Structure 1
Amino acid sequence: MDLLVVGAGDMGRWFGRTVDADLAFTDVDLDAAERAADERGGRVVPFDGDERFDLVCLAVPMGLAEEAVAENAHRAKDGMCDVTGAMGDPVAAMRDHLPDRERFSLHPLFAPQNAPGNVAVVDDTAGPLADAVRTDLADAGNHVFETTPEEHDAAMETVQAAAHAAILAFGLAADDVRDEFATPISAALDQLVTSVSSGTPRVYTDIQSHFGSGTDRVADAARALAMADDETFADLYRAVASVGAVSLDDATDADT
């Protein structure tokens, strides 16, 4: 398989090292593409080139996914996939621009340095390229599971946007206290704050931009807890404890 990875960041390099293919990289920053190619044993091609490949994988920021599909569809002989982190927009764009070729979307649910892990996949059209990529991902120790664009993007509102917002909000709200005062819960939250804040702002900004209703729900829930009297607070606590994570509406319904 001839593979072109568009985007030479962490996720593009992860995909390049995980999939067994004759590998080429391109990026708006050709120096980054050179470093990725040297690291992964591939070659560099022009960012706006016309050379065609069996498979083109888009490893670009979420907000650029639709544009990248349009600009690179002509380079994909047999198929295209993405690892952008969103699924609805790139899958829809691939349907428009590659109606007669393989289309699939992948979301590794981990930072590349934490691989292997869970990888969500939408096989919009089945075919040998998608099968080969899925096999390579599984052989590398990843758990590959099927989803739909709608299910995936709705889940990201909770597992990414809401989770990150809650962690960052704690980091913003917490005072600097002596380590001796740490509890198991506060220490775990401190570790999560460190983990999230060690990334790059753009990644988390993109997540909030695409899946921000999860953040809104965190803000609403925090406000409800802050304004609750003792009885209401206890009711909200019991609603969460009884069934795990619930929406504020569900908790309110349970109270009544």
Structure 2
Amino acid sequence: MDIADLRRQLDQVDRDLVRLAAERQRIVAEIGRSKRGTGRPLRDFKREKEVLDNVRGHARDAGIDPELAAGLMELLIAASLTRQEQDTVRALSQGEGKRALVVGGNGRMGGWFARFLDAQGYAVEIADPAGAPAGYAHRARWDDGALDHDLIVVATPLRAASRILATLADRRPPGVVFDLGSIKTPLRDSLAALNAAGVRVASVHPMFGPSANVLAGRHVILVDVGNRDAVETARGLFASTTATTIEMDLDEHDRLVASVLGLSHALNIVFVAALAASGVDPERLKAVSSTTFGAQVAIAESVARENPHLYFEIQSLNAHNGPALAALDEAMHTLLAAVRAGDEAGFVELMRRGREYLHAPPE
């Protein structure tokens, strides 16, 4: 057979793969409806393991790489979870007959939350001077009109959020109010003022970005600032998803975020800045990329694309960032000193401490 015939065969196989994937999604939707009827959770880890183990066995029988087959199946499982989660959120319609105002809803995370609430049946209005996506009610100024919504979500940069929350304390809206700030220290006084004014207020931090489609394995932090009803309302928004909600106080949140966001962001900003200062052509580096370098560059690229003003707020406005950045500075100087002095024992000790902290066995 010539190459044209072989390509036609390959095209037919590709069409069959897509058709079978669509059929799998149809069955997944039926399973999701069954789960909703019985109250079973969306995600079944035992069943996922069975599916992957079976696929690896089928792959060995077919003479192909079991991990290739498992990787394809993991993509299909993720798509299945996305489908079931989205269908469940829509079916339960927790926001039916309710209204939500998303301040900053034309931004990336604000837009994600607007779509999330819309899927739950909320009538969503977006307050944003930059406009709103098609299909949403819109006001340019958040305080230009009534604030009688069931939910008011503040999804703006931190300094703006602090001012908006403080003004809401004066307006005393009847609904639940919460912010989506990445750090909470700059919002402490405004959140306290809302609580003192009798407003049902909480603070929420989705630990994922606006590109998230499925919430399986994702975390949402809930911060209680004095009103349990607001915390439970916020928790309820994620009850029909596979996200895990974690509750903590404001100071613990910012202490942990100093490492989870502050330290990891700083490390990647410095990494890519060092590459830029090296003067080496990035394409040349990619041509000889190792596994570790490729993974690090992928993370650093995603950080480099983010809003630098937001990232500066995360670094500069968190009262708990100092120790994390100081530890990064000390570790960097320890490594440099060991390398420059030929101190192999010191270098090994630095890696040992990290390995033990992560409970990672040595190779």
Range of TM-score over shorter length:
0.7 to 0.9
1:198-236 deviation per Cα after TM superposition (whole angstroms, max 9, x unaligned): 222122111111234233322221112111232212211
Partner of 1:237: 351
1:35 equivalent to 2:142? Answer no
Return the letter of the residue paired with 2:167: E
Partner of 2:141: 46
Q: Which runs of 5+ in 1 are unaligned?
A: 246-256
Normalised by the length of structure 1, the TM-score is 0.83
Judging changes above 3 Å, is the alpha-carbon distance between structure 1 residues 89 and 206 closer, same or farther for their aligned structure 2 residues? closer
Q: What is the aligned counterpart of 1:185 among 292, 297, 301? A: 292
What SS does structure 2 have at the residue aligned with 1:139?
A: coil
Identify the range of structure 1 (53-62 vs 155-164) with the bigger mean alpha-carbon deviation: 53-62
| Aligned 1:1-40 pairs, distance under 5 A | 1-8=98-105, 9-19=107-117, 20=120, 21-27=122-128, 29=129, 32=130, 34-36=131-133, 38-39=134-135
Higher relative contact order (CA closer than 8 Å, sequence separation 6+) = 1
1:57 equivalent to 2:153? Answer yes
Identify the range of structure 1 (86-95 vs 61-70) with the bigger mean alpha-carbon deviation: 86-95
Q: What is the aligned counterpart of 2:250 among 140, 149, 152? A: 149
What SS does structure 1 have at the residue aligned with 2:143?
A: coil
Larger Rg: 2
Partner of 1:225: 335
Give the count of matched residue pairs: 238
C-alpha distance in 1 between matches for 2:307 and 2:140: 27
1:195 equivalent to 2:295? Answer no
Q: Is the 8 A contact 1:104 1:122 kept in 2?
A: yes
1:167 equivalent to 2:265? Answer no
Judging changes above 3 Å, is the alpha-carbon distance between structure 1 residues 230 and 18 closer, same or farther for their aligned structure 2 residues? same
Q: Is the 8 A contact 1:57 1:80 kept in 2?
A: yes
What SS does structure 1 have at the residue aligned with 2:228?
A: coil
Q: Is the 8 A contact 1:50 1:75 kept in 2?
A: no
1:81 equivalent to 2:178? Answer yes
Choose between structure 1 and 2: higher strand proportion. 1
1:1-41 deviation per Cα after TM superposition (whole angstroms, max 9, x unaligned): 322211121111222222232222212x2xx2x323x25x3
CA RMSD of aligned residues (A): 2.2
C-alpha distance in 2 between matches for 1:137 and 1:42: 24
Partner of 2:209: 111
Partner of 2:187: 90
Percent identity of the aligned residues? 24
C-alpha distance in 1 between matches for 2:263 and 2:102: 30
Q: What is the aligned counterpart of 1:215 among 325, 329, 333? A: 325
Partner of 2:221: 120
Normalised by the length of structure 2, the TM-score is 0.60
Return the letter of the residue paired with 2:262: A
Q: What is the aligned counterpart of 1:70 among 161, 166, 181? A: 166
Q: CA deviation at 1:64?
A: 2.5
Q: CA deviation at 1:109?
A: 0.9
1:126-182 deviation per Cα after TM superposition (whole angstroms, max 9, x unaligned): 11x543432222324322211111111001110111101111211122343443422
